[in-house]
Structure 1
């Protein structure tokens, strides 16, 4: 049985990565696809754990070779998901989660219409700006640009199947895990997973 592809997107500062990591810790049946990026690592980021960090020339080579499942230019840097990070796992029946932006999500849905997509919203603009400031990595000018980009990102929330407001972290984690659980209980998935049981139950007396 083919695995399910999950898409999780959010504006910068909405807490997407923290939510995803908490859900992955609870649900061992989902693997995270590590994205590629052309930007330099930020403090604390490690290659092949947070991103695959590669140069712009190498990224362009991969684009030209058709190696990406999706890719987009985000805040002046390239980000993308390699096909090798997704297709083999789905074919083997494993669920795969993509942390991508709305542009990448649109590309993925065009190829995998049955993908389950989730958008994370902050509880307020003030909370979003405060989370950006807590990172302590960007200047005020950069944060202003990121806030403007976040407004653009959030305007695409209605392209997603589910929306979670990350006001209370534990609640948001529970809601995301509930989405994963519910998607596995859809009729089509259960009919395939329990075909023998259903056939036995429907045998006439």
Structure 2
């Protein structure tokens, strides 16, 4: 029998400043690796046309949401305008125990909350290749005023200071390459010694 490295799933938290393209990178990663699951949030807002329970979101009433929150059932949660959103701890655990890696794309503040409650997660910070390119990406959206663009750029500049709170950094110079780097990080994490004590036990026990 050949020894297998870590066979449980990992929670991979991906975040970074606005405009770094983290959503696009995550989408490409999931296209290339369909075995990886995207974390599904719980929300109190009403389903939009085409949205499916358990696929896009878990839709709950505000009372149900607050009960989950009181029971410590969220890795993180926040109120956005009149609705609540949260990352369900139970769903993430179930997917990981089934051997699926789970991607959580989230803002920096949310990621840091998850890190407080889930230290075994893998935290990846996405960077632009340059600040000039970041400004181009933010400006290229064409949906915001010059004032809003400047505010977003300044916020992104400040958010760079949070990079040291993460385990890894990936520069999104090209989407395909960035997705491949994240996949490589996941594989490397599964080969870490502290995740694979069982192999030593199997060897010493003569199981292999």
TM-score interval (norm. to shorter) = 0.7 to 0.9
> Is the counterpart of residue 125 in structure 1 residue 131 in structure 2?
yes
Structure 1: unaligned runs, 5 residues or longer: none
> Is the counterpart of residue 168 in structure 1 residue 174 in structure 2?
yes
Q: Give the whole-Å Cα distance in 1 for the aligned partners of 2:81 and 2:135.
A: 17
Question: Per the alignment, do residues 112 and 77 of structure 1 end up closer, same or farther by CA in structure 2, a change over 3 Å counting?
Answer: same
Bigger drift between 164-173 and 66-75 goes to 66-75
> Is the counterpart of residue 110 in structure 1 residue 116 in structure 2?
yes
Question: Per the alignment, do residues 85 and 134 of structure 1 end up closer, same or farther by CA in structure 2, a change over 3 Å counting?
Answer: farther
The CA RMSD measured in Å over matched residues stands at: 3.7
Q: Give the whole-Å Cα distance in 1 for the aligned partners of 2:82 and 2:132.
A: 25
Q: 1:68 aligns with which of 71, 74, 80?
A: 74
Q: How does 1:76-115 map to 2 (within 5 A)?
A: 80-115=86-121
Q: Is the 8 A contact 1:5 1:90 kept in 2?
A: yes
Shift, 1:20, TM fit:
1.1
Question: Per the alignment, do residues 171 and 79 of structure 1 end up closer, same or farther by CA in structure 2, a change over 3 Å counting?
Answer: same
Question: Per the alignment, do residues 68 and 112 of structure 1 end up closer, same or farther by CA in structure 2, a change over 3 Å counting?
Answer: closer
Q: TM-score, normalised by structure 1?
A: 0.75
Q: Is the 8 A contact 2:17 2:108 kept in 1?
A: no
Q: Is the 8 A contact 2:122 2:167 kept in 1?
A: yes
Bigger drift between 61-70 and 7-16 goes to 61-70
Q: Deviations over 1:51-106 (max 9, x none)?
A: 64989x68974656654321246899965323343122123332211111222222
Q: Is the 8 A contact 1:72 1:103 kept in 2?
A: no
For 1:86, what is the secondary structure of its paired residue? helix
Q: Higher relative contact order at CA 8 Å, sep ≥6: structure 1 or structure 2? A: 2
Q: Give the whole-Å Cα distance in 2 for the aligned partners of 1:136 and 1:59.
A: 38
Structure 2: unaligned runs, 5 residues or longer: 1-6
Question: Per the alignment, do residues 114 and 78 of structure 1 end up closer, same or farther by CA in structure 2, a change over 3 Å counting?
Answer: same
Q: Is the 8 A contact 1:40 1:53 kept in 2?
A: no
Q: Which residue of 1 aligns with 2:144?
A: 138
Q: 1:11 aligns with which of 6, 17, 34?
A: 17
